[in-house]
Every structure is written in C-alpha cells, then in structure tokens.
Structure 1
Amino acid sequence: MGASLRRRSPGDRRAIAHIDVRLHPDDRALTGPEWSEVGHRLARVAGIEVPGDERGCRWIAVQAQPQRLDLIANLIRLDGTWNTQPFDLAQRLVKEARRIETDLLLTPVLGTGERQAVRAVPSASAQLAAILSQLADEQSGPLATVRGLVEHTAHRLARQPGDTSQPTAHRLELVARRIHHIQQDLHTTAAHLPETAPPRVASTPSPVRNSARRAR
C-alpha cells in the first residue's frame, strides 16, 4: 500500500476529495473489518473524519474492485464551512500506509524517496565473510593467538634437554605452519564471498492516490 498526492495550485478549492487505495498484487485479500479499518484510519489522517465532530465532513468508502478502496468525501462541512486539510497530507498518507502495512502484515511498498533511502543490507554470505576474516585476523584473531602459543611452546621445548624435546618441538612448528595456512585459506575464502545483497523492495503500479474535483 503506497500513498501519493496530486499537487494543487494556491487558492484551489476542492469540494470533493478522493483517496484511492490499492494493495500490492501479492497481498492477501483483506476482510471487511480490515478494509473498514483502512478507510477510517486514512480518513482520520486526511482530516475528513474527526472523532466527536458531528458537524464535520460526510464521506463514504466504496470497494468496486478487489484489492482497492475508494474514499470520497465532501469537503464542505455540515455547518457550511470548508474543511481544512493538512498541508503535509501526502506525507501523512504515506506514513499511515506504512503503519497499516505493518499492522495488517501487508507487503511493504516504498515510494520513490523511500527507495532512494534504502541501503543494501548485509547478506548471509557477507556475514560469513566477516566471521572468517575475524577468525583469520593476524592481529586479534583466535587462530593467530593459538598459533602464537604453539610457536612459543615449540621454542621452549627446543631449548629443553632430552631426546624427545627436539622432535616434539619440530611437530609443534609444523602445527603452527598448518594453522598459518588455514588463516590464509580463510582470508582467500572470505575475499571471494559477496559483500552485500541488493535490498528487496516491492513495487506497485498504482499506490494510494488523492485527487479532487473542483466545486461548480
């Protein structure tokens, strides 16, 4: 569910407001009470329904097609005055559409400005690459710490007297070398993993629209 508003020129007086609500093609079918909730929430955001105001605007919601709802309101109140709509009505409709999507578990649909603000999120491969890089890090990685301990032990054994000290020290040096090779392999593997995955953004051919006809 998206939201957009047609611009109007200064001094343009609209007698009839029309809010066109369309769901994403992949959305589930909403129930009657859910459509009613959508209509009332958007009407309140647009300022055409004010709880407790018995002299306010009269409006109706019509569902002539599946996945679509049309809100039509008379902007001349029952007391004869004009209804004043919020100056930031377009932004309010967009924000309320986002909240409705979350509350009713609908497919998120982002507008043009919102799509530009979306950043690529780390993929599973990117997260794995970060873990591998941390494991293989020469300065603070756990493998570097283990290799350092093995090398230190090998050096100490090499200075010890006895027939078994030298062979054991040599085996530990080979172990340290294998750990170093593992670090290099992890670095190479991490470098070949993709860094990010493109964000998944649903698109819609025709989001919520707001239009109006001039009074004659």
Structure 2
Amino acid sequence: MIPRIHQRSPDAVEALGEALGRPVSDQEGLTAYTVVAHWPGLDYYTPDDEQERWTSADWAELLDAPMRDRPFPSSTREDRRAIWHADVRLHPGDRDLTGAEWSEIAHRLARTAGIHTPGDHHGCRWIAVQAQPGRLDLLANLIRADGTWEGQPHNLAKALMSECRRIEADFGLTPPRQGRVPQRPAQPVPALTKATGHPTAHSAEELVGATAQLAELLHQLADEATGPVATVRGLVEHAAYRLDRLPHTYGPAAGHQLELIARRLHSIQQDLEATAAALPSTTRRPAPTTPAITSPQATPARPSR
C-alpha cells in the first residue's frame, strides 16, 4: 500500500475529480459504496437517506463550505489552500477489499493524518472516496468547524507510510517493496577491465537487473511523498516561512535564502528522477511536479449551501 500526498488546493472540485477519475458533476450521485467514510458531524444534521441523493458536486460544495463560512483563517504559511488530498493504492496482486474494510482503513489513515480525532465535534470536514480499483482517496478541508486551522503532523508522510505498513499486516496485504524490487537475486554492477575500462562479459539479464536496481534507488531518493530529499526540502520550506514572519530585518533575508535552497533541492529531485528514467530498461516515470515554494492564493467567494 503506497500513500501519496497531493499539493493542497483552494477548492475541492479538482481533488474530488481526481479521486473519482472523472469530472465532478451535478447530475451524478455518489453512493455509500463510493464515499466509504466521512467526518462524524455530517450525520448530526442530515437525514439518513439524504446523502444517497447527493451528487459529486454536492460533496465538493460541502467540503468547500468552511472556506466560505470562515473567510479569514489561514495556514501557518498564510495561504488559503485548505483542501488536503492524499491517496493510497494497493498492490496489483492484493485481494478486493469490502466496503467495511475500506471504511476502517479510511478512519485509520484520517486519524494518522490529523484530520479526524475521535470525540472532536469541531474537527475537519473529510471524506474517503473509493471510486477506482485498488485505490482510496482522502479529502479534507483543514479549516475546522470552530474556525481554526487544523495542524497536521510535521512528519506526515512518514506517519502515513508507517500506518500503511501496519494496515498491510492487519489485513494481509502486500508491502509495496515486494512488487517494486525485481523478484530475483541481486546482481552486481558489471566490473571494469583494467585494460580497456569496458564492462566484463555479463549476460543481458544481469545488466538489466543492475540498471533496474540503480534506477529504483534513484526513484526512492527522489520520491515526493517518502524520499529523503523531499523531507529535507519540507523542513527548509517550513523554516523559510517562519523566518519570513519574524519582524526583524534578518528574518525575511534569511527566509529568502532558505527559499532558494528549497528550490535547489527540488531541482535535485527532478535531476535524480530524470537520471533514473534515462537508465536502460527502466519504467519511465514523470518527474516530480510539486513546486518548491508557492505564493499565497486567494479563494474565490462562493454562495453558501
């Protein structure tokens, strides 16, 4: 089970469309088999059967509502991109899960992500969508019912990865490494001869195995969700935003330097991914597209539901 955290967005339409694998519609209803879990406060003010008639556009509007009702709260980075989105994907060889199992997994991941705390009646609005085979999407509005901004764990990617490993053990699922690393003994990198500097004679399978392993290592280093470079970049960005808020003159200057460092780290991620993709006989992957640092965006006003 592989978790992926998407870039936060100012509204839920795009995130929900990606979770569904199709555009959000005001004609298509989403059943309980699609929305497998949601924030507990939803049941307090809706009839038991009303949710069965909601369209995907209705669900997006419900997630967006706190941004219309609470126009002033912003994150510690002083932006209004309050829609948080993450997904997890099963190994292709895993069995089909039941709706109850998807629901339990959704609640466990929601607690790990800090968007759901049992007994908290003023928490985030969130839903879990199971619309694509072997995939579960979590969407949340980080503006809480009390008007404050929900703070998520600092090491969120690592926390989600750890919880996924526990879920795999509890549900008998396949860890991702078993599906990503070639299922054969490790092959050494071909040695160079002293006379010519060219590789010694090895079979084509040995060469493919060596390059595939090296490419996988580079992919892991550049991974946006769990890679060490992304983790360091996140810490640098956090420090940059904190320095920018300091009133002293050295604060913004130091923050700007950290922003430049974060951008260079992002470039390193892209270079690692490009190098891995260029190795022979490896699966081509798109380079990371998450921007290193973005400027705050305003949220357009929308009528209340």
In the superposition, the TM-score normalised over structure 2's length comes to 0.36
User: For the pair shown, which has the larger CA radius of gyration, 1 or 2?
Assistant: 1
Which structure exhibits the higher relative contact order, with contacts defined as CA atoms closer than 8 Å and separated by 6 or more residues? 1
Structure with greater strand percent: 1
In the superposition, the TM-score normalised over structure 1's length comes to 0.50
